[in-house]
């Protein structure tokens, strides 16, 4: 079967067409973004912001880019540098504050996952985006893998789903905020896999039961392992298990996937091995930019065309709700957590937490969280389903 593709647009008409952007957060991942932007055909680095000015200057120097403005204020650096957008690569706890600074300065934002530590923080950002009219897109970079698109094509031909299984087993040492988090697997890593589930199936989470724990040898302070079972809107089940401290039989960072459906089954090892066990179903592997390059390309093309990107802030909230639902269930000894109830409780929390009168007022005006998420997304021509269909 054929998979929908977007054309690679590696060569914009003029060098001046590259979108001038400021990167906020010059840590490990910020460095990846800065190195990628140095050679991107879509965007050009004009400024870097970090609380640690020496770090920002060192990273800028390492890519040999002249004329990049460095500072610790988003609005000030953006103005001096003539930026037209912000890429937010700070730690999750700082995402909302930085996104607010940028959107209030009239700058659209491409924000690293997770959108925030909680669904309440995510809902405050939906209201903020609505209020400012700016584009806020979450960079869920693991959606942009060509073999995932191929796997998705195969899965869509298998008919109604019975079950999707994903396993993620790794042993990663990344000192910093991850090793101090209460839930380093679910918040920092599984958010990718949960978001991929929504992209892969077009299905949405209804409820979850989860158990998380920290193996005795773990070098993480919080729970580095979890198992979870999600009920999906179609009635199918998503069964997930993972660990960040298991040094054997490592899976791909993208996890290892099996899908069982009415017309057969399909599997993807998370890298380049897609298998289909069904008569007459094939797949094409597209040739698109992958990872953060793919995410940046979608951000820039959406901004310019006025189309709605897959992970516009409203659409991303359910990926985060899967994470928080799993954590709540684990905290309550595996109790079934209903996603719709979690969203409404999160709206009440968002209203209680919000300090800005205009954002709080907008949150209070929503009849429900579902009502807030149904407000029109940025962009006049949506090119995806709410769950992030193919572009
Ligand atoms: N897509 C992926 O595959 C992927 C991979 C790794 C990390 N990430 C995400 O990237 C983000 C950053 O991760 P990291 O590993 O680079 O973290 P890091 O701790 O190495 O770097 C974060 C940087 O942000 C800066 N910072 C924090 N608060 C700030 C603020 N208010 N204003 C300006 N700068 C601020 C810190 O000084 C630090 O330099 C996280 O959200 C993480 O989940 C994504």
Instruction: Look up the CATH number of the domain holding residue 233.
Output: 3.30.360.10
Share of the chain above pLDDT 90, in %: 90
**Residue range 366-385, pLDDT digits in tens:** 999 999 999 889 996 554 43
Does 7 lie in the same domain as 121?
A: yes
Does 213 lie in the same domain as 180?
A: yes
Does 133 lie in the same domain as 174?
A: no
Ligand 1: nearest atom to the Cα of 292: 1
Q: Would you say residue 91 has pLDDT above 60?
A: yes
Q: Tokens 């979890």 correspond to what residue? A: 226
pTM of the model: 0.93
φ, ψ dihedrals at 284, nearest 5°? -110, 145
pLDDT band at residue 13 under the 50/70/90 scheme:
very low
**Ligand 1 centre and the CA of 272: distance in Å?**
28
The pLDDT of 160-168, averaged and rounded, is 98
Does 112 lie in the same domain as 165?
A: no
Instruction: Look up the CATH number of the domain holding residue 135.
Output: 3.40.50.720
**Ligand 1 centre and the CA of 49: distance in Å?**
12
Q: With respect to residue 169, please indicate whether it lies within any of the assigned structural domains.
A: yes
Q: For residue 233, what are the domain limits?
A: 146-285
**Ligand 1 centre and the CA of 91: distance in Å?**
4
**Residue range 238-257, pLDDT digits in tens:** 999 999 999 999 999 999 99
Does 221 lie in the same domain as 306?
A: no
Which pLDDT belongs to residue 168?
Answer: 98
- Ligand 1 pocket list (CB less than 6 A): 24-30, 49-52, 55, 89-92, 94, 97-98, 112-113, 141, 176-177, 188
- Give the C-alpha distances (Å, rounded to integers) separating 53 from 26, 27, 34, 58: 9, 11, 15, 9
**Residue range 102-133, pLDDT digits in tens:** 999 999 999 999 999 999 999 999 999 999 99
User: How many domains does the chain contain in total?
Assistant: 2
Q: Which of 32, 91, 194 to mutate to test the pocket of ligand 1 (most atoms within 8 A of CB)?
A: 91
Does 89 lie in the same domain as 36?
A: yes
Does 118 lie in the same domain as 89?
A: yes
Q: With respect to residue 272, please indicate whether it lies within any of the assigned structural domains.
A: yes
**Residue range 50-89, pLDDT digits in tens:** 999 999 999 999 998 889 999 999 999 999 999 999 999 9
């Amino acid at each position: 079967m054929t998979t929908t593709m977007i054309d690679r647009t590696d060569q914009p008409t003029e060098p001046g067409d590259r979108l001038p952007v400021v990167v906020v957060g010059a840590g490990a991942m910020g460095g990846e973004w800065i190195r990628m932007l140095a050679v991107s055909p879509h965007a050009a680095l004009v400024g870097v912001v970090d609380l640690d000015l020496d770090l920002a200057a060192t990273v800028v120097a390492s890519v040999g880019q002249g004329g990049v403005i460095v500072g610790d204020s988003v609005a000030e650096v953006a103005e001096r540098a003539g930026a037209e957008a912000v890429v937010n690569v700070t730690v999750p706890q700082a995402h909302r504050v930085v996104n607010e600074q940028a959107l209030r300065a009239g700058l659209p934002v491409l924000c690293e996952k997770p959108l925030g530590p909680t669904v309440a923080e995510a809902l405050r950002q939906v209201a903020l985006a609505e209020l400012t009219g700016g584009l806020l897109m979450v960079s869920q970079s693991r959606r942009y893998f060509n073999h995932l698109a191929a796997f998705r094509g195969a899965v869509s031909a298998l008919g109604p789903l019975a079950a999707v299984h994903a396993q993620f087993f790794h042993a990663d040492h990344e000192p910093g905020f991850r090793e101090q988090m209460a839930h380093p697997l679910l918040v920092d890593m599984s958010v990718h896999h949960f978001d991929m589930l929504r992209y892969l199936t077009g299905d949405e989470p209804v409820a979850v039961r989860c158990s998380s724990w920290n193996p005795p040898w773990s070098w993480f302070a919080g729970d580095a392992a979890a198992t979870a079972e999600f009920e999906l809107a179609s009635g199918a089940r998503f069964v997930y298990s993972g660990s960040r401290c298991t040094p054997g039989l490592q899976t791909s960072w993208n996890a290892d996937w099996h899908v069982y459906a009415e017309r057969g089954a399909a599997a993807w090892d998370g890298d380049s091995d897609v298998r289909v066990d069904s008569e007459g179903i094939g797949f094409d592997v597209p040739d698109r930019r992958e990872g953060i390059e793919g995410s940046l390309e979608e951000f820039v093309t959406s901004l310019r065309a006025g189309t709605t990107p897959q992970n516009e802030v409203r659409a991303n909230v359910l990926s985060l709700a899967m994470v928080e639902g799993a954590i709540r269930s684990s905290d309550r000894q595996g109790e079934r957590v209903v996603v719709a109830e979690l969203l409404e409780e999160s709206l009440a929390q968002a209203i209680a937490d919000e300090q800005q009168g205009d954002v709080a007022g907008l949150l209070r005006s929503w009849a429900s969280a579902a009502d807030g998420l149904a407000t029109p997304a940025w962009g006049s021509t949506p090119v995806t389903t709410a769950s992030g269909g193919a572009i």
